[in-house]
Structure 1
Amino acid sequence: MFYVERGKKGKIVAIRREADTAEMELKEAVDDEIIEFLIDEKTNDSLIRLLASTDVGGMRVLEDLINLLVNKNIIMLTELPHDAQVKLRQRQQIRQSLGKETIIVDDII
């Protein structure tokens, strides 16, 4: 989630992680207006940072998809490369130790 500041014409003029003023609007990270603003800024660095900020959620979606496929016996976890198996098990253990399987890291950061 990001806070956006709008100019007089209603277009986004700045994006921030925290609100500087009460007038700032809260928007999802992946939003057409935010992406358009970053493209207009002509900085690949900003787009790369936005892409990286969505990686955590994307990883969780992949974990959930893999778990679903394993639970439905469509694939076996052992069919994945060894390194992938290790990483998935590590993340699963960490989530279980947190006590809430559906937790997303963004929720606690």
Structure 2
Amino acid sequence: MRWRPFHIRRGEEILPARVQQLAKKVGVHPGRVRVKELGYHWASCGARGDLNFHWKTLMAPRTVLDYVIVHELCHLRYRDHSTAFWNEIDKVLPTYRERKQWLRANGASLDV
């Protein structure tokens, strides 16, 4: 837990720029980017377009972090997990399935 503030600060320094880069590829305009404790969720997308990321996502490989970011960005267009939502992710990250699987298999071990 003592590493949480470090990862939160680090995330708040690097995530906004990466979110903006990927937002251009998705074609959306996100609101504020925050890094915090989200319990059992990796990220969330607020009704006003604000994106929240669990501080532990900063410990994942960059490719996996990009998947989490794109997943939330696509929620700005589709508020569900419909076929259209997953097709949108696939357009930006054709290898998203492997990244999603990595998170399922290894996410619980992202701890300090």
**Could you state the TM-score of these two structures normalised by the residue count of structure 2?**
0.29
- Higher RCO structure (Cα 8 Å, ≥6 apart): 2
Q: Which has the larger radius of gyration?
A: 1
**Could you state the TM-score of these two structures normalised by the residue count of structure 1?**
0.29
